[in-house]
Amino acid sequence: MAFIEVENVHFSYNPNEINVVEALDGVNLSIEQGEFVAILGHNGCGKSTMAQLFNGMLAPTAGKITISGVLTTDEEKQFEVRSAVGLVQQNPDNQMVAGIVEEDVAFGPENLGVPPLEIRQRVDEALKTVDMYAYRTHAPHKLSGGQKQRVAIAGIIAMEPKCIVLDEPTAMLDPRGRTEVMETIQKLNRENGITIILITHYMDEAVQAGRVVVMDSGHILKDGTPKEIFSDVPFLKKHDLDVPQVTELMYRLKGAGLPVADMPLETEEGLRMLAELIQ
């Protein structure tokens, strides 16, 4: 059994009404420990519902989700599930609870009943991981968006989760803030082995994942490597998604009859391919 197992999950926000709207309509997904998965889809496709199901904030209307074999709906193990799967949301201002950065980060482990000395260690460690240790005594509301979001991530790390789900964590950030947060996510995945589930509208972020899942109308439509997913430009457009500008460029050149074999995902790769075409 994989680390996270989603088995035939249905979810509806109004299960008792006549016109039941299924936000999720029979989703199956397995995620192994240490994977970096990006979930793509237009607004209303069910991505955010998925995010909240992973750590038991929402319970499936039908089907089941297990984290290391534990059901997310098991009330006795609720703490176990929520500390195994941390959730970072879009707006950093809604996630700050304390007046000082380090107290904010300590909030999670305090709630889990971690002994004070260990909390101190965990908070310092977490702030160093997201590169915010120098700001530990600052007021969160005076930080930039990217810094706030990294503090929110530190608060999750301090609970020592096996997995972090991030629901559009960069939607409100400027380009620098976005880069900071993406670098932090990469580091957590590579160096700390934390499983990452990133929900995003930004294609340049999705291409950084090891695996991309595309959703629409409560279904999973495609599941593959970024290369596999982004090579199928017509499919993405059909489902109201975008491709990185470099991919779009090569796709259009190919459409005009030029010998383009592969779709590039990043600037450098695209430039190499263009240089070959020129020669």
244 near another protein, rule: CB under 8 A? yes
**Which x/- pattern, by CB under 8 A, does the window 23-52 give for another protein?**
------------------xxxx--------
Q: What minimum distance in Å lies between the beta carbon of 220 and another protein?
A: 17
Q: How many angstroms from the chain centroid is the CA of residue 11?
A: 20
274 near another protein, rule: CB under 8 A? yes
CB atoms within 10 A of CB 239: 17
Tokens coding 190: 């590579």
How far apart are the C-alpha atoms of 111 and 78, rounded to whole Å? 13
CA dist 71 to 4, 66, 148, 190, 243, Å?
A: 10, 4, 32, 27, 36
Q: What minimum distance in Å lies between the beta carbon of 63 and another protein?
A: 25
Q: Which amino acid is at 278?
A: I
Q: What minimum distance in Å lies between the beta carbon of 277 and another protein?
A: 5
Tokens coding 175: 């380009």
**Which x/- pattern, by CB under 8 A, does the window 168-207 give for another protein?**
x--xxxxxxxx----------------------x-xx---
**By rule CB under 8 A, what count of residues binds another protein?**
41
Taking the least distance from each CB to another protein, the nearer of 85 and 246 is 246
Taking the least distance from each CB to another protein, the nearer of 124 and 232 is 232
249 near another protein, rule: CB under 8 A? yes
Question: Closest Cα to residue 278, out of 255, 253, 246, 244?
Answer: 253
Taking the least distance from each CB to another protein, the nearer of 70 and 253 is 253
254 near another protein, rule: CB under 8 A? no
- Spell out the alpha helix ranges (H) of 20-163: 47-54, 78-84, 101-111, 116-129, 145-157
- Spell out the alpha helix ranges (H) of 10-46: none
Taking the least distance from each CB to another protein, the nearer of 96 and 173 is 173
18 near another protein, rule: CB under 8 A? no
- Spell out the alpha helix ranges (H) of 207-260: 226-231, 233-238, 245-255
70 near another protein, rule: CB under 8 A? no
Q: Are 229 and 222 in contact (CB under 8 A)?
A: yes
Please name every residue paired with 212 in a beta bridge, in sequence order, or none if there are none: 38, 224
141 near another protein, rule: CB under 8 A? no
134 near another protein, rule: CB under 8 A? no
* Residues at the interface with another protein (CB under 8 A): 41-44, 90, 144-146, 168, 171-178, 201, 203-204, 240-242, 244-246, 248-249, 252-253, 256-258, 267, 270-271, 274-275, 277-279
